[in-house]
Structure 1
Amino acid sequence: MSLTSFLKHKDVKNALERTFKKPQFNLQAELLAPPLTNNYSLVGTAFDYLFRFYIKRLNPDAVEHSWVSESALCYLLMGPHGVPIDYKIIEKVEKTIQYAKKAYSEYINTGIMNHDLFKTVLLLAQIDSVYREGARAIYRNGFLDESNIDENDIKDLRNLISIVKPEYFKSRKICILNPTFGKASRLVGGADCDLIIDDAIIDIKTTKKLDLTRNYFDQLIGYYILYTIGNIDGMPTDCKVKRLGIYFSRYAYLLFIDVLDVIKENFFDFVNWFEKKASERFGRRL
């Protein structure tokens, strides 16, 4: 279980809705990069990787954490998982990650996003599914089969990265990729967000709809609660989160919410309730 699944529990969801009023925005922008296949989740996860690679080249001093795909590999190596494990597949996972590291390093050095890099992030997205869904994901038809990669997904990724506006993501002081929330991440069985830029937590949404949904808003609040409990690994103590953001990648639209606009005087009471509830649910105490 993770922060995402924890936030979906009825009592937690209801408490968030009672305590935090979702801001109303009239979001309007042109759909610049419409999806080209139905592989929405796969392309979304692949773009998360590609986008973070781009941000690292834009901000060379960005703090990096391990990839979810690396955690998935560790998960497979630890076993048992309730399903038989083909160790040839584990070896393939390991080699795919190694190749991805090489492709990533080449991009950082050259600034060129070649076909191999796009293909690699689509394979990493498949590996991520092991961490989120369990070991059964390795037996999904076509798992890590390069011949099954849809060229339209690669074209989609090219379109998405081509419309990113670098001025939105050039940090002035701090940039953290795939940040985690110290002890608070462990409290909910795992939690990381996409990006920290200066005073903002930013989540990437590769979705057809330009809409701040209740689920998206709750996720941002969840991140801020975890930050309040456990801080952010790699973030200097003199840096504070003051904004919560969503980058709608198909629109190249970056939305920010000021923390003070949604956090009220009873916030710390809610944080205490949240921490207690998570401890009960996951059996972990800080």
Structure 2
Amino acid sequence: MSLTSRIKNNKEFRDVISTIAPLKEDYTTLSGKPPFSKEYTCLVESNLPHAGDSSLVGMAFDYLARFRIGQVINNTDAGKCLTALKGMRKLQIKTANFNLVDEYFAPLRTAVYNFIKNNQELTDDIILVALRLGKLEQFFRMRVPKSFDKNEFLTIQRSEMLIPDLKELMAVFEEKFISSGIINKKNEVVFNPNFGISSFLVDGADADVIVDGVLYDFKTTGNFKYDSKDSLQLSGYFLLNRFLREIENDKHLIMCSLNYSEISFNNVRLYKARFGEFECFNFDVVNEELLLNDAVISLAKYFESNPGRLNNIVFVDPLIDEEGYRDAIQLIANKNKTPQ
């Protein structure tokens, strides 16, 4: 159960996140328009007839946006740690074909590297690569039916509709995200950031990108209205990162073993790709003492009873101190809450 699934399906966890989640009126926009309002102009209409297509376009756009940012800052890390690779490994197990990484995934990875390193143009070919990566990510996140056909699944259906849609979305991204100066060669960027043990505790949580201490989450929905799920997701990222900071006080724990890049952010932004709008919130307005003494403590209490994959952490790396993490979580859970 990933972060988004846990928010959707677990009331106790959702209630903890809700204590710090911003409401509609708490957001601002970079354009100055009222957030989540009819004043937005739809720049790329959503005309995809199938829900699966919309999901695939969303994932492919995430990849293309990261790759374009990688071009600007000349950093091929944008093509690393792709969730699609987890889908590829899952597909190998499902099909018992352990050559798929070399046969199918390696050419995609090479195309991404060349696109970034050689500052190539956005062509149909690289968009198709992003769609294939998105398809693999879909596979990682889905329950695989018994009647599964690998070749049928990996075929990109209706590409004649998906590719033009992604081209338009990337044209808007170029104007609003790149040409506007949000991204430049001096930016400090973390691609696909995760939150170490906190991500592990919720069976997976990784964001799109962090630029100079601002976390951006890309959305390709055609709906401009406020969605509490999006706000809870952003708040979940923030709280998981703050929870990790508390755990880090126990210095003997080996954080690097969980592929964690130390990051810090207080600002979060939803980028609505079809509107070119940014919806922004700064967690500095959340009472610091309340956050650390209440929300983080409540999260620790939740993790005491719901440790996610913590029981299997030794299989990830035998050097990781499972008991040390348990002790750190218990220590946080036993702190006194802020008096009401």
TM-score normalized by the length of structure 1: 0.86
User: Which residue in the other structure is 2:90 paired with?
Assistant: 75
Q: Distance in 2 between matches of 1:168 and 1:192?
A: 21
Report the alpha carbon displacement of residue 61 of structure 1 after superposing the two structures with TM. 4.0
Letter in structure 1 aligned against 2:236: G
What is the CA-CA distance between 1:135 and the residue it aligns to? 4.0
Pick one of 100, 109, 112 that aligns with 1:104. 112
Is residue 219 of structure 1 aligned with residue 212 of structure 2?
no
Q: CA deviation at 1:276?
A: 2.9
Name the counterpart of 1:34: 45
User: After superposition, what is the alpha-carbon deviation per residue over 1:103-148, rounded to whole angstroms, capped at 9, x for unaligned?
Assistant: 21221203311111111111111111221114449537831125x3
**CA distance in 1: counterparts of 2:62 and 2:260, whole angstroms:** 19
Question: Rg bigger for which structure?
Answer: 2
SS in 1 for 2:154: coil
Letter in 2 for 1:246: L
SS at match of 1:36: coil
Letter paired with 2:107: Y
Partners of 1:61 and 1:175 within 8 A in 2 = no
From the superposition, tell whether residues 160 and 263 of structure 1 become closer, same or farther in structure 2 (CA, over 3 Å): farther
Q: Secondary structure at the match of 1:251?
A: coil
The SS at the match of 2:152 is coil
- Structure 1 residue ranges without an equivalent (≥5): 80-84
Deviation at 1:21, TM superposition (A): 4.3
More off after superposition, 151-160 vs 172-181: 172-181
Give 1:16's aligned residue.
17
The correspondence for 1:242, drawn from 263, 266, 270, is 266
User: How far did residue 198 of structure 1 move?
Assistant: 0.6
Aligned to 2:134: 125
- 1:47 match: 61
- Deviations for 1:31-77, whole angstroms, at most 9, x for unmatched residues? 11112323110110111111111111112247544100112223344
2:275 matches 1:251: yes
Q: Is the 8 A contact 2:57 2:131 kept in 1?
A: yes
* Shift of residue 217, structure 1, vs aligned partner: 0.7
Aligned Cα RMSD in Å? 2.5
Identity rate, percent: 24
Give, in whole Å, the separation in 2 of the partners of 1:263 and 1:46. Answer: 37
**Residue-by-residue CA offset, 1:177-215 (whole Å, 9 max, x unaligned):** 111111111111111000000111111111001233211
* Mapped partners of 2:103, 2:265: distance in 1: 37
For structure 2, list consecutive stretches of 5 or more residues without a partner in the other structure.
Answer: 28-33, 246-258, 311-321, 326-340
Question: Number of residues paired by the alignment?
Answer: 275
The answer to whether the aligner puts 1:267 opposite 2:291 as a matched pair is: yes
C-alpha separation in 1, matches of 2:183 and 2:227:
23
Task: Report the residue type matching 2:6 in the other structure.
Answer: F
Task: Please give the TM-score of this superposition, normalised by the length of structure 2.
Answer: 0.73
Deviations 1:198-253, CA, capped at 9 Å, x for gaps: 111111111001233211111111000111123693346xxx31201111111111
Conservation of the 8 A alpha-carbon contact between 1:21 and 1:262: no
Q: Could you say which residue in structure 2 is the equivalent of 1:159?
A: 168
Equivalence for 1:82: none
Would you say 1:66 and 2:84 are equivalent positions?
Answer: no
SS in 2 for 1:31: coil
Query: How far 1:3 sits from its partner (Å)?
Result: 0.8
Tell me the residue number matched to 1:95: 103
Cα distance in 2, alignment partners of residues 19 and 145 from structure 1 = 42
For 2:216, the equivalent position in structure 1 comes to 202
Secondary structure at 1:203 match in 2 = strand
SS at match of 2:289: coil
Distance 2:102 2:283 in 1: 40
Moved more, 227-236 or 214-223: 227-236
Amino acid at match of 2:204: G
- 1:142 is aligned to 152
Q: Note if contact 1:206-1:250 (Cα within 8 Å) is conserved in structure 2.
A: yes
Instruction: Output the CA distance in 1 between the equivalents of 2:73 and 2:198.
Output: 27
